[in-house]
Structure 1
Amino acid sequence: MRNDPTRTGTTVRDDIRTTVPTGSAVPAVRTAVPAGTGTPAAVRNLGILAHVDAGKTTVTERILYLTGTTHKRGEVHDGTTVTDFDPQERDRGITIFAAAVSCDWDGHRINLIDTPGHVDFADEVERSLRVLDGAVAVFDAVAGVEPQTESVWRQADRYGVPRIAFVNKMDRAGADLDATAAAIRDRLGTVPLVAQLPIGREDGFTGVVDLLRMRALTWTSADDRVTEGPVPAALADEADRRRALLAEAVAELHLGALEEFYTDGTVTAGTLTTAVRELTLDGAAVAVLCGSAYRDIGIEPLLAAVVEWLPSPLGVPPVRGTAPDGPDDGELRAPDPAEPFAGLVFKVTATPTGRLTFLRVYSGTIGRGDTVLDAGARRTERIGRILRVRADRHTDTDRAVAGDIVAVVGVKAARAGATLCAPAAPLVLEPPGVPEPVVSAAVEARRALDTERLAVALARLADEDPSLTVRTDPETGQTVLSGMGELHLEVAAERIRREQGLEITVGRPRVAYRETVVRGVRGLVHRHVKQDGGAGQYAHVVIDVEPLDPPGGDGGDPLEFTSVVTGGRVPKEYVRAVEAGCRDALADGPLGGHPVTGLRVVLTDGATHPKDSSELAFRAAGRFALRAALRAAGLVLLEPVAEVTVTVPDDAVGPVLGDLAARRGRVSGSTARGGTSVVTATVPLAELFGYATRLRGRTRGRGTFTARPTGYAPAPPQPPTAD
């Protein structure tokens, strides 16, 4: 039984841990073992990923309680969670900001990041995944694979993050482990290795059968202990059948398990454990566990699987970076405390006591008082303090080593995505991608005297959240705040009101339109000649412009640039200048001054002057040439579209379908699920403003929806007005 500070009057001991037997997938009993050593091999950098309301914050809270980090279970509905500590998170009941926390389990330090599930805050997930070594994907056992689950899964695929699946809420009516596993296979494109069998259904769910070791693990409401015992007789045949299916699935993917399976007709627990770990690390399959975090069921096996199957910093490839002025092929840094220091900033937070810079240390060691280099900005910074983080609480430490995730105080200017490194060994690490904003709104201070304070507050927000951008509209002079969605802007505005005490007005949201070409231009010639005394400018370029497929591209780089010039007619450095000039021209298109995207530019020919040619001249030539090509090409206006998933009672499907059609939505599917229907449609983002209120009215408050931006599509001739 764990120490209870409410009974003893003492604080929770730091040495409360659980021992996991060698080769085990779950712990047998709770005992005290030494705290984590902090060496890279004993560290797990773990993220919790899920769709909104799947229960990931509750999973995080149970992990903190089980590891002795907290002495009381935090509840989302009570506003007592550790990781959702921001007032808006507690008011809204959702995770908005990624929160880091460290805890110890079985001699390992787990640096855990609870990420948002709402699509408007996907950039928080992106930056977190960039610095994680493994993740737990939480699924609702009733809803299965939901839209935002797919999004975060693809993000994890992009960064090669190994995952374990935890099917939560197994105590709910309609919970179905097999259906969720099938959805993982079909919609996420991976092989689910179901390693547990539920004991009981819905309200009667009390535990799981560990199919690797063929034992039952049960939990009771009387205390927080897990009881290990034999497989219940009523489940023996089903457990044997599922154990055989698991062994076959593993043998199909793992050579060692296949040899044992053909030799002995089965696979031992030790071989299965090893095989599942290797398949997880390779991304060839995902282990599937289940439980009910709210009822404290299944968390111990989940933690044991994290330690057993997810990698330490030593289990991932060395990080690759480039020297600021070095070759393009990159430089590797191993996760070794003896290597030169290199770390990536993934989050910046302003607190009343100073600026916190969250840092993943990839190599080397950093100590309090050290001077580091912001490699991208070529600026040195001094580390004042190093903090182990527990959401909004922190503990000082003297140093951090390779594999650690910490917060540092004293770094004044580094933004999210910056590389901090040893000044004697500069290195630039690849930053996480920043998505383009899709929604904008004008923001003004109600009192003219507060205009300057508002500018400072907006700059601070943009510093903390790279997916927020601030600009001044050249026509109206208004300050425009842009972000990833309506809720994103609402949260930003509320932060200004609460944290800065400013009275502000926020205009009606507007979507971010784009322009693209639908008909190409070939052989466009532009000569840039300028002579006004002294050295002149001369550049001659010939370009082809054509559209990318799909319209607007795939949402990534707006420009695909290549050069087919031969014979050195345009030197390599001038080719790069032409590309830079073309990118300059994308800022405002001919149709309405919107950014241009989705085009391919090919430099086919050019010429230089022995004295007057320069990079500056060729950059100007590239800019003017592409602008001329865009005016000559066929252009179309693009608007952002979203995949909308609406869950409504069966008797409200008709009105909901009619409303989606009125909003220019294209329905792509509808499925029945226990008295409710789930409708999927593609809808222009501009038509979704105010949709939540309309949906509640049409369904008497019983309908819910989620929207996930999926790219751009051609807009009507006249931009639609927001609802």
Structure 2
Amino acid sequence: MISIKEKELILETRNIGICAHIDAGKTTLTERILFYTGRNHSIGEVHDGKATMDWMDQEQERGITINSASTTVHWKHTISNINCKINLIDTPGHVDFTAEVERTMRVLDGICLVLCSVGGVQSQTESIWRQVRKYLVPSVCFVNKMDRKGANFERTCNELKDKLKIDSLILQYPIFKKGEFCGIYDLIFMKEFYFHGKNGEVVSTKDIEKENHDLYKKRNCLIENLIKDDENLIELYLKDELKTELVIKLIRKKTITCEITPVLCGSAFKNKGVQTLLNYVIDLFPSPLEKEVKCYCLETKKTKNIRATENKFSAVVFKVINDPYSGRISFSRIYSGRISCGDFVLNSNTNKKERIGRIIFYNVNKKIESKSANCGDIVAFVGLKTTQTGHTLCSCDFGIVFEEITFPEPVISYSVYTNSDSNYEKMLNSLSKLSIEDPTILVKTNKETGDLVISGMGELHIDVFLERIKREFGIPVFKRNPKVSFKETVSSSSINNEGKYIRQSGGRGQYGHVVISIFPRKIGKGFKFVNSIKSGAIPNEYIDPIKKSIQNCCLTGFLIGSPIVDIKVELTFGSFHEVDSNENAFKIAASLAFKKAFLNAKPIILEPIMLVSVECPKEYLGSIISDISSRRGEIISNEVSDFLNILKANIPMLNMFNYTTSIRSKTKGRATYSMSFGFYRKVPSLISEGLIKNDS
């Protein structure tokens, strides 16, 4: 049972994430939050490689966020004096690491969407917003970089409505003096905020002057839109008795239900607007006690909502990592109840009990041990052996399952290899360990080509993953384009092709004589063998070896060494010698006959055709269609959904290499695609000749 004191603490907790397109200033904003809340005593800059939240070597070297990093800060509201604990997660902005955003979004109660006032709504902004809508997370937009040349607050706000279809509520406007950004107009408190001191830590305010009719008009419009459906509030407004506290409560209510998205502004790099953003995080985002989560009850076979006031423990594991010292660590969001070290919990997805060995609170990469954790906490559990990302943990007698986290399918693949056979097993083990941490990394062996293939969300994603293997396991791993799984078949029939194998070497000789015919079959029908031998021309004991010999020949074709498929082989005639014939002789004779028959039957090469689905804004449709045509692709359909076009096309796999990079460059990163295997089709003659020439 949660005590009254614990309830008060949970009411004063906020679980939020900072999300943005790459280079919108997301990590810079997080660094200021750490400084102003007293978590850090100095400001770490991204361009210096000293950002606290970017703690990995590769993050500091590349100047980008790769992994989500969590920390806890405390902030005292500068106006209401409410003191809140804020669990903060900084997420990557690069499209290749969208899975980190996806799993973070699943467990948060609020999102601060950072936008660049120069770039406006960018490609990853659109992707993030789709994730926000998917999980219905309350959100606030922070228009950053207002100090930059070319900053345009109004244009960015218009793009929020036009591109993202956001019902935005503008609470703040920038103050410019002599062309420089110097402060913020706040329409709720009707004050001007200015930020002084070495790092903007001193905040001064003054009332907005009555002569500023434009701002007062905007405030009236804002409030009138908010209260238009509430007669009591309209009456208070007309009497000029509508207090600021009531306005904030109404905005909070509509923000939590995702009816509106408040818009704020500032410049994190110039230390302006961060403190007012923190005030609104407290004012507008819900506490864990106000969160309802849908789950499936295993006993009643029905869905129900879980609230934080539920006494029994429940949590979702949203991330799993392998720590070199602690072993497997499972990052979890607790939705209800309380958990202590040593407790047993049920993994509802596997129906297995697990023991909580240790409980850790993370401050970026620093561990803080704890004996227990409450609802609303974002913690890491040590000791869970079978639990994976997206699994539900609950009290052993609770029996509920939360919705699993869904991740996008990998879009790019490479063949990976190491420099020696002795490192191969080590490479496999390291790939297996690290792929547990990232559900969008898939590692598999192509049975047809023998390649070890790794798939991910982009070239950078795979490069970072392989670099981790080199650094953490000391194994050199290299990548190359994977082999295309070509097939060989015949396009016409070839009748009565003879194969003879006769050898005489003084003693017992070798004799095998086979006559076969070959016929094409429909693509996908496979191999068929027909025995049409009559009157014992070939004894039955040699029929099966002949069939197996032909099947072995089909494993490696005669054009480019690819498997031979979709043929019918008929054994029509042959002869044998009572002394010299044996299995081996007939196998060799069959292979000679089959090669002759195959090459006489107008052989062709088949290539895999991928079903590709592309989602792109309307303005890039022509460019995408043109690119698909240049790749020998065929458009199947074009659907319009919201503000996106969804193109479906058949494109040869041979022409899909580096498509991720190409499509992003053509659409400024605003298009996404997925692909799956479709079918096999004949390779055009010109390309077929090139493949045969290269193979020889």
Q: TM-score, normalised by structure 2?
A: 0.70
Which of 184, 192, 204 is 1:208 aligned to?
184
**CA separation of 1:71/1:476 partners in 2, compared to 1, >3 Å: closer, same or farther?**
same
User: What does residue range 497-576 of structure 1 map to in structure 2 within 5 Å?
Assistant: 497-508=470-481
Q: Which moved more, 1:706-715 or 1:281-290?
A: 706-715
> 1:433 offset after TM fit, Å?
0.8
Q: CA separation in 2, counterparts of 1:509 and 1:121?
A: 22
Say yes or no: does 1:402 pair with 2:365. no
User: What does residue range 215-230 of structure 1 map to in structure 2 within 5 Å?
Assistant: 215-230=191-206
**CA separation of 1:660/1:330 partners in 2, compared to 1, >3 Å: closer, same or farther?**
closer
> 1:125 offset after TM fit, Å?
1.1
CA contact (8 A) 2:348 2:391 kept: yes
Q: Name the structure 2 match of 1:388.
A: 361
Q: Name the structure 2 match of 1:278.
A: 253
Q: Name the structure 2 match of 1:472.
A: 445
Q: CA separation in 1, counterparts of 2:162 and 2:64?
A: 28
Residues matched between the structures, number:
540
Q: CA separation in 2, counterparts of 1:317 and 1:477?
A: 49
SS in 2 for 1:496: helix
Q: Name the structure 2 match of 1:341.
A: 313
User: What do residues 44-66 of structure 1 show as CA deviations (whole Å, max 9, x unaligned)?
Assistant: 11111111111111111111111
Q: CA separation in 1, counterparts of 2:354 and 2:227?
A: 52
User: What does residue range 273-312 of structure 1 map to in structure 2 within 5 Å?
Assistant: 273-312=248-287
> 1:292 offset after TM fit, Å?
0.4
Which of 111, 116, 128 is 1:152 aligned to?
128
SS in 1 for 2:212: helix
Which amino acid in the other structure matches residue 658 of structure 2? F
**CA separation of 1:397/1:265 partners in 2, compared to 1, >3 Å: closer, same or farther?**
same
**CA separation of 1:442/1:687 partners in 2, compared to 1, >3 Å: closer, same or farther?**
closer
RMSD between superposed Cα atoms in Å: 3.8
Q: Identity over aligned residues, as a percent?
A: 36
SS in 1 for 2:292: coil
CA contact (8 A) 2:332 2:381 kept: yes
Q: Name the structure 2 match of 1:77.
A: 47
Q: Name the structure 2 match of 1:555.
A: none
Say yes or no: does 1:40 pair with 2:10. yes
Say yes or no: does 1:638 pair with 2:611. yes
SS in 2 for 1:108: strand
CA contact (8 A) 1:645 1:707 kept: no
Gaps of 5+ in 2: 77-82, 487-564, 567-607, 639-644, 688-696
Q: CA separation in 2, counterparts of 1:461 and 1:510?
A: 24
Q: Name the structure 2 match of 1:104.
A: 74
**CA separation of 1:375/1:695 partners in 2, compared to 1, >3 Å: closer, same or farther?**
closer
**CA separation of 1:256/1:157 partners in 2, compared to 1, >3 Å: closer, same or farther?**
farther
Which amino acid in the other structure matches residue 94 of structure 1? I
Q: Name the structure 2 match of 1:706.
A: 669
**CA separation of 1:142/1:316 partners in 2, compared to 1, >3 Å: closer, same or farther?**
same
Q: CA separation in 1, counterparts of 2:674 and 2:85?
A: 39
Which amino acid in the other structure matches residue 159 of structure 2? A
Which of 146, 149, 152 is 1:170 aligned to?
146
Which of 197, 207, 223 is 1:247 aligned to?
223
Say yes or no: does 1:124 pair with 2:94. no
**CA separation of 1:418/1:659 partners in 2, compared to 1, >3 Å: closer, same or farther?**
closer
Q: CA separation in 2, counterparts of 1:171 and 1:242?
A: 23
Q: Name the structure 1 match of 2:401.
A: 428
**CA separation of 1:353/1:636 partners in 2, compared to 1, >3 Å: closer, same or farther?**
closer
Say yes or no: does 1:351 pair with 2:334. no
CA contact (8 A) 2:342 2:355 kept: yes
Q: CA separation in 2, counterparts of 1:45 and 1:378?
A: 29
Q: Which has the larger radius of gyration?
A: 2
Q: Which moved more, 1:709-718 or 1:392-401?
A: 709-718
Q: Name the structure 1 match of 2:290.
A: 315
Which amino acid in the other structure matches residue 236 of structure 1? N
SS in 2 for 1:61: helix
Q: CA separation in 2, counterparts of 1:426 and 1:681?
A: 40
**CA separation of 1:93/1:384 partners in 2, compared to 1, >3 Å: closer, same or farther?**
same
Q: Name the structure 1 match of 2:658.
A: 689
Which amino acid in the other structure matches residue 142 of structure 2? F
User: What do residues 64-100 of structure 1 show as CA deviations (whole Å, max 9, x unaligned)?
Assistant: 1111111111211111112211112222211111111
Which amino acid in the other structure matches residue 72 of structure 1? S
CA contact (8 A) 1:119 1:708 kept: no
CA contact (8 A) 1:198 1:205 kept: yes
CA contact (8 A) 1:437 1:469 kept: yes
Q: Which moved more, 1:100-109 or 1:391-400?
A: 100-109
**CA separation of 1:202/1:93 partners in 2, compared to 1, >3 Å: closer, same or farther?**
farther
CA contact (8 A) 1:645 1:681 kept: no
Which amino acid in the other structure matches residue 706 of structure 1? G
> 1:252 offset after TM fit, Å?
4.1
> 1:347 offset after TM fit, Å?
0.4
User: What do residues 385-433 of structure 1 show as CA deviations (whole Å, max 9, x unaligned)?
Assistant: 2111111112111211111101122222211111112223232221111
**CA separation of 1:177/1:259 partners in 2, compared to 1, >3 Å: closer, same or farther?**
farther
Q: Name the structure 1 match of 2:550.
A: none
Which of 50, 53, 59 is 2:23 aligned to?
53
**CA separation of 1:64/1:466 partners in 2, compared to 1, >3 Å: closer, same or farther?**
same
Say yes or no: does 1:185 pair with 2:161. yes
SS in 1 for 2:127: helix
> 1:646 offset after TM fit, Å?
11
Which of 36, 39, 42 is 1:66 aligned to?
36
Q: CA separation in 2, counterparts of 1:719 and 1:311?
A: 58
Q: CA separation in 2, counterparts of 1:512 and 1:138?
A: 44
CA contact (8 A) 1:83 1:391 kept: yes
User: What do residues 664-716 of structure 1 show as CA deviations (whole Å, max 9, x unaligned)?
Assistant: 999x9xxxxxxxxxxx99898966828869999xxxxxx99425414569999
User: What do residues 291-340 of structure 1 show as CA deviations (whole Å, max 9, x unaligned)?
Assistant: 001111111111111111010111122442332xx33313443213x611
Q: CA separation in 2, counterparts of 1:241 and 1:512?
A: 66
Which amino acid in the other structure matches residue 81 of structure 1? A
Q: CA separation in 2, counterparts of 1:392 and 1:383?
A: 21
**CA separation of 1:417/1:297 partners in 2, compared to 1, >3 Å: closer, same or farther?**
same
Which amino acid in the other structure matches residue 254 of structure 2? L
> 1:235 offset after TM fit, Å?
7.6
**CA separation of 1:428/1:264 partners in 2, compared to 1, >3 Å: closer, same or farther?**
same
Q: CA separation in 1, counterparts of 2:71 and 2:476?
A: 34
> 1:512 offset after TM fit, Å?
12
Q: CA separation in 2, counterparts of 1:691 and 1:82?
A: 31
CA contact (8 A) 2:36 2:201 kept: no
Q: CA separation in 2, counterparts of 1:228 and 1:507?
A: 58
**CA separation of 1:66/1:245 partners in 2, compared to 1, >3 Å: closer, same or farther?**
same
> 1:640 offset after TM fit, Å?
4.6
User: What do residues 471-511 of structure 1 show as CA deviations (whole Å, max 9, x unaligned)?
Assistant: 11111222211112222211111111111110122122689
SS in 1 for 2:49: coil
Which amino acid in the other structure matches residue 44 of structure 2? G
Q: CA separation in 1, counterparts of 2:297 and 2:257?
A: 26
**CA separation of 1:424/1:511 partners in 2, compared to 1, >3 Å: closer, same or farther?**
farther
Q: CA separation in 1, counterparts of 2:189 and 2:48?
A: 38
> 1:229 offset after TM fit, Å?
2.9
Q: CA separation in 2, counterparts of 1:508 and 1:422?
A: 47
